[in-house]
Structure 1
Amino acid sequence: MVTTSMKVDFHQNFNHFYHAFEILSSQEIPQDYMSFQSSVKDGAIHRLSPRQDLEVVVSDYSFYKEHRMDMLTAKPMVEISFCLQGTREVQISGCTYEITAGTCSLQFIEQIEASFLFNKNEAYQMVGIGIPVSTFNHYMDKIDGIGESSLNFHKVLKGTSYRLFQEKIDAIDILILKQMLHAIAAKKMTNLELEYTVLQLLIRTFQTFLSHPINQTEYSNSDREKIRHAQTIIIENMMNPPTLMELSRLIGLNDFKLKKGFKEMFGKTVFGYLREKRLEKASYLLQNGSMNVTEVANAVGYSNPSHFAEAFKGKYGINPSEVLKKFSQPFTERNHL
């Protein structure tokens, strides 16, 4: 159960951000839309809270000159940020981190002082999702696929006040974000739908960054980077993926090390991972409703729609045609199907 005090403490971090940003928030979430224009910046920030332990911030703004913004976090929290446009630096405890377009960042934050550095005439578009520590710890107890069942906020931090994980935004997450932003802009997303979407993004991010830690002594930083490159190649070429030997040559790592390292890092074989990502993308394409089943099958690399339907039902327990039908209904009608 989420307490009222947690709600107040947790949301203080965002209130401090808006204060440092020199904009006024009415703090009447879950729907708080703030547009602004001055000699320094213009744009808008949309603040939403589908439930009391979730805060979603959609930012779209730019600065007319280089700008530094300093702030202090009030309470520990966990935040994921999807940077869709723009590059900025963040300075925390003497360390500088770069947040670039196309990256997903998972941040574990104690009470820290942070400085944000924004570039002149650069457009920034970001989606941030914040949760309190208790919610993160709760999900670590519930989510399957996390490498260490007893993982919690303080174990991730390992005695530090800040830790950042960063990766290229997954193709499936890009699709989820686009659908979410379109629905928010069109005012067609209910709190329940927003909560469901945000929880998907949170769980997927936790599984990406926190599951199956790779053996640090056996694999160098270069090896781990090559294996992550293999992951990117697989996702970007799921319609026509390379063979294992071709993938090995593309990343410059022998096939034995690739197979073993990939399984340790992502918890699946290379082609088990490919199959998983194909079916995940298929699920979101079907939910989007802009393609029929055959088109979706082709879009994720299945030339035989029957094989695709069999694989899809094996993973989700439902035929792809049923998903397509279900998500062509208004949300209120879907719950009765």
Structure 2
Amino acid sequence: MLQCVKELKREKRLYDIHPATQTGSGGNGDITAAWQQVDLHDGLWLSRLELVPHSASTLCYHKQPAMIDFGFIIGGQLNHKLKTNVMGGQVAATAGTAGIGYFPGREGVMQVRNGRPLKVLHVHVTPERLSRMLGADIGAMPASFRLIVEGTVNHDFMSKCAMDPLLQATALDVFNGRYHGRPQYLYLEAKALELISLQIGRLMSQEASRKKRALLSPNEKKRIHAAREFLVRDLAAPPTLNTLANFFCLSRNKLQIGFRELHGSSVFAYLREYKMQRARQLFDQTEMNVSQVAWEVGYTNVSQFTKAYKKRFGVLPKHYRKSVLDCHVPELPSVQLASI
């Protein structure tokens, strides 16, 4: 049964979430949940949803204003049933997936699996606000998305992709509230804009790929996603390009094309970025020293790791580590839904 904190009734919430009726819903059970919403600017919001279902559950939701949603699945898995013809009205998402959606007067059903915590971060922006932020860059947007931002059309839109290491690390930083002593709202607004920029960049890259070559087949996409998992499984001894291609029955060229289309970079550019973002997360989340982090992400030579880290982030890893240890990391603001 869904229980909301009464004090939230005074807040202007973006979403109304409630349990589906038992008939034909697939069942509902108790859920522990936290909903946090931050109003960053007129027409720009950030929201954080964490659900821990104690049994398979189905929730209905309704979004109040028409807005463009930039969503990031941090953990867990969910299935959306939407009142739209886009993607057949069914959108499945797992951890590591990001998407851009626009559904005027959006209503839908969200199904969450038993015992698997769901963690979702959203940046919400009205088309009018995004149009002002894009300025002259709006002309470079894919036509189907640009017309929505301009307000010329009001149809449904959905695009999703796998998060690359930079996008995933940025979303994790925001979800976990890692402000490192910085002004909270200024930090969150800057990160929200960064997430929007990264996602729109991926959308533009996908559009360019469609114009240059035929889309990958569903089977090829599945194998390339599996290749990505295999690539980062052992950072100390990653496979060669030939080994990776042969193992998943792909040509080297098809593997590289697929990585660029699905993950936004070449195979080993992806691996380098993954190592750097993983290193930064270890500094943020543990007390490991520079040598330990270097070894953890596959560097046997600490000097090479230091050089690579400074080139990527513009700071020596020992200095970054010291700044993290010196700063208190506060909790996210408690604008929340308590118990479901």
TM-score (norm 2): 0.69
TM-aligned CA deviation for residue 22 of structure 1: 7.4
Seen in structure 2, the aligned counterparts of structure 1 residues 28 and 252 have a Cα distance that, compared at 3 Å, is same
Alignment map for 1:301-312 (pairs within 5 Å): 301-312=298-309
Look up the match of 2:205: 211
Look up the match of 2:337: none
Look up the match of 2:254: 257
Seen in structure 2, the aligned counterparts of structure 1 residues 101 and 61 have a Cα distance that, compared at 3 Å, is same
Look up the match of 1:75: 66
Look up the match of 1:48: 37
In 2, Cα distance between the equivalents of 1:263 and 1:115?
A: 32
- RMSD, aligned α-carbons: 4.3
Tell me, yes or no, if structure 1 residue 284 matches structure 2 residue 278: no
Identical positions, percent: 17
The number of residue pairs the alignment matches comes to 302
In 2, Cα distance between the equivalents of 1:243 and 1:231?
A: 13
Q: In structure 2, the residue corresponding to 1:54 is in which secondary structure? A: strand
In 1, Cα distance between the equivalents of 2:3 and 2:159?
A: 25
In 2, Cα distance between the equivalents of 1:283 and 1:117?
A: 33
Does structure 2 retain, via aligned residues, the 8 Å contact 1:83–1:99?
no
Question: Which of 137, 156, 159 is the matching residue for 1:165?
Answer: 159
Seen in structure 2, the aligned counterparts of structure 1 residues 292 and 244 have a Cα distance that, compared at 3 Å, is same
Task: Kindly provide the CA deviation profile for residues 128-183 of structure 1, in whole angstroms up to 9, marking residues without a partner as x.
Answer: 3132134545666699xx9x944477338696733333445666666666665555
Question: Which of 196, 216, 221 is the matching residue for 1:220?
Answer: 216
TM-aligned CA deviation for residue 70 of structure 1: 5.4
Q: In structure 1, the residue corresponding to 2:80 is in which secondary structure? A: strand
In 2, Cα distance between the equivalents of 1:181 and 1:314?
A: 26
| Matched AA of 2:33 | A
Question: Which of 323, 328, 337 is the matching residue for 1:326?
Answer: 323
Seen in structure 2, the aligned counterparts of structure 1 residues 325 and 178 have a Cα distance that, compared at 3 Å, is same
In 2, Cα distance between the equivalents of 1:240 and 1:50?
A: 45
Alignment map for 1:128-139 (pairs within 5 Å): 128-132=121-125, 133-137=127-131
TM-aligned CA deviation for residue 41 of structure 1: 4.6
TM-aligned CA deviation for residue 310 of structure 1: 1.2
Does structure 2 retain, via aligned residues, the 8 Å contact 1:106–1:164?
yes
TM-aligned CA deviation for residue 287 of structure 1: 3.4
Task: Kindly provide the CA deviation profile for residues 286-311 of structure 1, in whole angstroms up to 9, marking residues without a partner as x.
Answer: 23352111111112111111011111
In 2, Cα distance between the equivalents of 1:123 and 1:60?
A: 9
Q: In structure 2, the residue corresponding to 1:284 is in which secondary structure? A: helix
Seen in structure 2, the aligned counterparts of structure 1 residues 56 and 301 have a Cα distance that, compared at 3 Å, is same
In 1, Cα distance between the equivalents of 2:201 and 2:326?
A: 30
In 1, Cα distance between the equivalents of 2:265 and 2:168?
A: 22
Tell me, yes or no, if structure 1 residue 155 matches structure 2 residue 149: no
Does structure 1 retain, via aligned residues, the 8 Å contact 2:80–2:90?
yes
Look up the match of 1:300: 297
Choose 85-94 or 238-247, whichever is displaced more. 85-94
In 2, Cα distance between the equivalents of 1:264 and 1:44?
A: 35
Unaligned runs of 5+ in 1: 1-19, 333-337
Does structure 1 retain, via aligned residues, the 8 Å contact 2:283–2:293?
yes
Tell me, yes or no, if structure 1 residue 59 matches structure 2 residue 50: yes
Which structure has the higher relative contact order (CA within 8 Å, separation 6+)?
Answer: 2
TM-aligned CA deviation for residue 242 of structure 1: 0.7
Task: Kindly provide the CA deviation profile for residues 239-289 of structure 1, in whole angstroms up to 9, marking residues without a partner as x.
Answer: 321100111022211112223443455553321221122122222322335
Does structure 2 retain, via aligned residues, the 8 Å contact 1:136–1:153?
no
| Matched AA of 2:47 | V
| Matched AA of 1:273 | Y
